[in-house]
Each structure stands twice: as C-alpha cells, then as structure tokens.
C-alpha cells in the first residue's frame, strides 16, 4: 500500500512523512477543520476581540513546555513606540546581526507573546536575537497601519543595526506583511534588510491559485469560506486585494528585493501562493529558493518537535547565515 488507510474524516496521511507528523495528522479531523469559524469581517471590534482572546488563551497553553525546554531570554521592548517581544537563545552572545519575525494568525489573531513556538527554535539554532513585532491586529487596524507599524519598528532597529545585518521572516499572514513591508520600504527608498524568509506565506488574499482547489479537501487546517475570507476582509477591503502591499505576489520584482527563501508544505492550499511568488522572483533574476516539504501542512515549522520542523528551521538558519556571511 502507498498510504495508510483512514476513513474520510481525516486528511490523507502519507507514509512518506515522519511518524510524529502522522500522529499529529491523526489528531485533526476535517469535520473540526470545517467547523472553525470566525466573525464576519463587518462584525464589531468587541466581537472580534472576544474571539481573539479565546484563541490567545488556547495558544498560550503550549508556552510552558517550550520555555522549559529551550530556556530562552524573553522580554518586552518598544521600537519607535511599537511593542515587540525580544527573544534571545539561552547562551546568547552579543552580535551585530539580528532577525525580525512577523507572526501569523490570519492578520486577526494572536499577540506576539503567544507565537514563541515559531521564534524560540530559530533563535536557538541561529544563536541570534529575534525581534517579534507585536503589530495591532485587524480589524482594529487595517493593512496600511499594520505595515507602517512594522516599518516604524524596523527603522528604529536601523539606528542600532546595519541593514546588511538584518533578516526578516514571517509565517502565514506574517509572510504577507513582511513581504508587503519590504515592497513599501523599497518604494520609499529605505534600506532593505539583507535577507527574507517566507513560511507558508499568504501572499494572495484572494482564492486564486490551483492549490486552493486541488488541495481544498485535503488541507487539514485551512478553510477559505467562512474563515480565511473573513480575516482577509478584516485586514483589507476586497478592492485592495491586488495592492502589492496587501498581496505581495502582485509586486514589481524587476526592482530590488532581498534574497528570499520560500518554505511551503505539499498539503496546504497556500502552495500556489509560494509557487507564484517563487516564479515572480525567479523570472526577475532574484536570488530565491523554493523549499517544499512532503506531506506538511500550514506552518508546520511551529511544531518544533517534528523532524520536518527541525529540518525547516535548520534550512532557514542556514539560508540566513549564508547571506549574512556567517560560517556555521
């Protein structure tokens, strides 16, 4: 047999992934995926904040274990008035290099405080300080304010760090925000970071791209109607979805853009987003790598105990350090 056999309440579980990943896939049902709902885009801020608090409490449950395992140094700081979480590995040594992290959460969920599963392991692997920008969530803030908050924090870091020594990465919606911020920095002639990494990035807010359809019934996490679509509208009105700051895949990549690593899993409906972004950069002669993972789902990198997550974090670290000119 070429795959493990389960009834159709589960996403397909291939034999080509780690046992740990198989176990995780077995814990999710398509029924629970389909039942996930968020408020309508036009719902009141109070309704959204209630849902945001619910998901924040749930996400925080995973923090004690990773904090005990890695024992990082974590503190709250402010950069140009923008709140951020400063993550340093346990044995941090002062460095002229730094990494900025833009967290995901469909533009609408999670303070940076509860997204440490996607920053602590990379801080440990790289030995570098990671600054997670705690941008204001949609719908309280729209895309223009959120991107400007990231830029404001970045400009504050430019007072301490050379742009050649700054990397930026983002996952899911955070990947869109990171890439959109880079395009805006370029348009306003602000020095760009040296390198960018996109994890499972939501690079086109519209339901466009082959994998939105081919993987619709096998993606174990993501549902567009009733979930992603609502979050996208909370972030930006539909008439703005082809604005490159909102959906970076529509950017002009004939102009400057940093070396880019794009990571994506073969199970996620965002696969086409990554392929399209890769092609845009590749056809415009930019330095870009497309790093695809068999059987992986949306932002598997944050499941730090998986072999596939460790591999992805290592590849991220290697790409960043390579472009920093650091031997590792």
Average pLDDT over residues 269-281: 98
Given pLDDT bands bounded at 50, 70 and 90, which one contains residue 35?
confident
Distance CA 312, CA 328 (A): 16
The per-residue pLDDT for 8 is: 60
Please give the CATH superfamily to which domain 19-324 belongs.
Alpha/Beta hydrolase fold, catalytic domain (3.40.50.1820)
The per-residue pLDDT for 9 is: 82
* pTM score: 0.96
Given pLDDT bands bounded at 50, 70 and 90, which one contains residue 200?
very high
Average pLDDT over residues 286-293: 98
Percentage of the chain modeled with pLDDT above 70? 98
Tokens read off for 166: 């700054």
The per-residue pLDDT for 112 is: 98
Containing 169, the helix (H) or strand (E) segment is strand 166-171
Please name the residue ranges forming H helices in the chain.
19-26, 30-35, 45-60, 63-70, 120-126, 143-158, 173-187, 211-214, 229-235, 271-283, 307-324
The per-residue pLDDT for 5 is: 40
| 103-130 residue pLDDT tens | 999 999 999 999 999 999 999 999 999 9
Better-scored residue on pLDDT, 9 or 322: 322
| 222-252 residue pLDDT tens | 999 999 999 999 999 999 999 999 999 999 9
Write the CB contacts of 43 (distance below 8 Å, at least 6 apart in sequence).
none
- Buried b / exposed e across 224-243, counting CB within 10 Å, b at 16+? beebbbbbbbbbbeeeebeb
Distance CA 169, CA 160 (A): 19
Q: What is the mean pLDDT of the chain?
A: 95
The per-residue pLDDT for 327 is: 86
| pLDDT for 92 beyond 60 | yes
Given pLDDT bands bounded at 50, 70 and 90, which one contains residue 10?
confident
> What are residue 327's phi and psi, to 5 degrees?
-80, 135
Average pLDDT over residues 45-68: 97
| pLDDT for 280 beyond 50 | yes
Distance CA 110, CA 291 (A): 26
Paired residues of 86 in beta bridges: 75, 131
Q: Alpha carbon of 327 to those of 121, 256, 319: distances in Å? A: 19, 26, 11
The per-residue pLDDT for 282 is: 98
| 123-166 residue pLDDT tens | 999 999 999 999 999 999 999 999 999 999 999 999 999 999 99
The domain ranges of the chain are 19-324
Q: Which of 315, 328, 322, 304 is nearest to 72 (CA)?
A: 304
| pLDDT for 1 beyond 80 | no
Better-scored residue on pLDDT, 328 or 143: 143
| pLDDT for 6 beyond 50 | no
């Amino acid at each position: 047999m070429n795959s493990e056999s389960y009834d159709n309440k589960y996403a397909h579980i291939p034999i080509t992934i780690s046992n740990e990943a198989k176990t995780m896939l077995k814990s999710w049902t398509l029924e629970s995926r389909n039942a996930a709902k968020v408020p309508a885009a036009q719902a009141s801020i109070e309704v959204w904040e209630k849902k945001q608090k619910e998901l924040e409490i749930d996400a925080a449950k995973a923090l004690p274990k990773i904090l005990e395992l890695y024992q990082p140094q974590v503190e709250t700081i402010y950069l140009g008035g923008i709140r951020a979480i400063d993550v340093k590995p346990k044995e941090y040594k002062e460095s002229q290099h730094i990494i900025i992290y833009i967290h995901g959460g469909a533009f609408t969920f999670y303070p940076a405080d509860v997204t440490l599963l996607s920053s602590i392991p990379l801080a440990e692997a790289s030995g570098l300080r990671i600054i997670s920008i705690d941008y204001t969530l949609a719908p309280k803030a729209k895309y223009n304010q959120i991107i400007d908050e990231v830029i404001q924090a970045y400009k504050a870091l430019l007072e301490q760090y050379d742009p050649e020594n700054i990397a930026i990465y983002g996952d899911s919606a955070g990947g869109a925000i990171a890439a959109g911020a880079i395009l805006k920095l370029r348009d306003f002639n602000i020095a760009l970071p040296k390198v960018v990494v996109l994890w499972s990035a939501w690079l086109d807010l519209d339901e466009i791209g082959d994998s939105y359809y081919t993987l619709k019934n096998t993606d174990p996490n993501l549902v567009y109607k009733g979930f992603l679509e609502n979050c996208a509208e909370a972030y930006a009105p539909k008439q703005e979805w082809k604005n490159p700051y909102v959906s970076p895949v529509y950017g002009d990549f004939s102009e400057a853009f940093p070396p880019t690593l794009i990571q994506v899993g073969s199970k996620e409906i965002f696969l086409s987003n990554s392929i399209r972004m890769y092609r845009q950069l590749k056809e415009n002669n930019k330095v870009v790598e497309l790093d695809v993972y068999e059987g992986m789902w949306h932002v598997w990198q944050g499941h730090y105990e998986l072999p596939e997550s460790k591999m992805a974090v290592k590849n991220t670290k290697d790409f960043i350090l390579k472009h920093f000119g650091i031997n590792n």
